[in-house]
Chains A and B, each alone.
Chain A
């Protein structure tokens, strides 16, 4: 049930902001400060999420095969690999290291 609440709230919220962008008058969102904040908000969230999902195990910080996978993904990004390759490399390296270390 809790999961359905989260799914419903996310679906409503995400649709509402998409529609708002198409409907609101230009002036409201075109203030420089609002625009800068909107551009920086995803940077902060994505950075925090990347770090947490790489190093978190519940409430503890751990260094495991995921870190190696993300390192490989970073290298792929530097080499300008396509999106799917970046994700695939992370998965393969993580799985490979786990199978080696047991």
Chain B
């Protein structure tokens, strides 16, 4: 099976500061991969680089075609949904409008209607609150809305940045269960950045570890989970 995402020698900069120093990895379709690493290691930067939100060098292939010279909007149109850290909610739009914004890059109306149903089925609370302003939702509901917004693109690759941030453990469990369901039901490939390494490794089938802008270890989630160094540094036992 050919890779859906291939990243080779990816470098990225914030202004003059280089944040990634040659990151390489690839993802199989329908898989869930997680990026582990300490704060500031370059996890979020990797996602931002894929979406062309910052200056980069190196090659990124999506479905075999180069995307590293494309604009963010064009990458989205190819089917790469990016749910940013902090959720990126449109506070002053209603829940339904937030979802409709997520479907902006699509032109197939009947498909969009189906996906509204699908998102409301996955997150019934969004259906209840669909006429409410998104700013009035709780943190957990906003995270659900953010994932829903990403799904409205009917993406082939979903980039998720810290979906558990600031949420109560029960809510996090609920969201992760739904992520697994989304991956199994619709086969969307997921690239997950997550502080909570234990949770991330339990969901993902593959993982790699970034330190100071470089990949230092990669493999199946089970391998990394049983690695002593990872266990001490990131799983804390």
**Chain A complexes with chain B:** no
